[in-house]
Structure 1
């Protein structure tokens, strides 16, 4: 499970550096994320830009992480690829999670 954690003064940015968030890694992802967010006192931005596929296990892990967030600390999802965004939309979890439409970088556009 590859995560990059980059705290700054206003938030913590966690980048998921996996192409799939599925049954094979969902439990490790959930456990590691819960460990990180349990100590957070600033908002969390979860960068899912590299995740190309998410199944129900991955979605379940995301819900567990959302529930584990400390009271008053926000979790924002950013960079959802179309297949991942579809999972959130079809399950109506897009109404539960805050999803940011981050602008594409030059590398992604070109």
Structure 2
């Protein structure tokens, strides 16, 4: 599982560079997210534009990453592909996370 992290406008952007977040990589994703966000900004945008498949384990790993960040920090999602967006919508997790169609849109709305 490969993630790339960068800071922009007091926001941390974590981009998933793999095309799947599923049971095979969920633990690795969760560990990589924890390592990337432990000392980050208060708002983290998870860029999922390269992810074309997510299962319940992947969804659980994203929720676990959000919980690990604590209540004082926020995890927003950006760039959901249609298949991934459908999973979030069907599980109603789109009401738990702030979801933005594009990374640029998320950066524009969330920068302080």
Same structural fold, with TM-score higher than 0.5 when normalized by the shorter chain? yes
**What's the CA shift string for 1:22-76, capped at 9, x where partnerless?**
1111110001102222222331111000000001110110110111113322111
**Structure 2: 5+ residue stretches without partners:** 105-112
Q: Distance in 2 between matches of 1:100 and 1:68?
A: 21
Q: CA RMSD in A?
A: 1.6
Q: Secondary structure at the match of 1:65?
A: helix
TM-score by length of 1: 0.86
Q: Which has the larger radius of gyration?
A: 1
Listed as ranges, the matches of 1:1-110 within 5 Å are 1-102=1-102
TM-score by length of 2: 0.85
Task: Give the 3 Å change call, closer, same or farther, for CA 71–103 of structure 1 in structure 2.
Answer: closer
Number of residue pairs aligned between Structure 1 and Structure 2: 104
**Structure 1: 5+ residue stretches without partners:** 105-110
Q: Distance in 1 between matches of 2:73 and 2:39?
A: 11
Q: Distance in 1 between matches of 2:32 and 2:49?
A: 18
Any runs of at least 4 consecutive aligned residues in structure 1 with deviations exceeding 2 A, and if so which? none
Measured after TM superposition, the shift of residue 9 of structure 1 is: 4.2
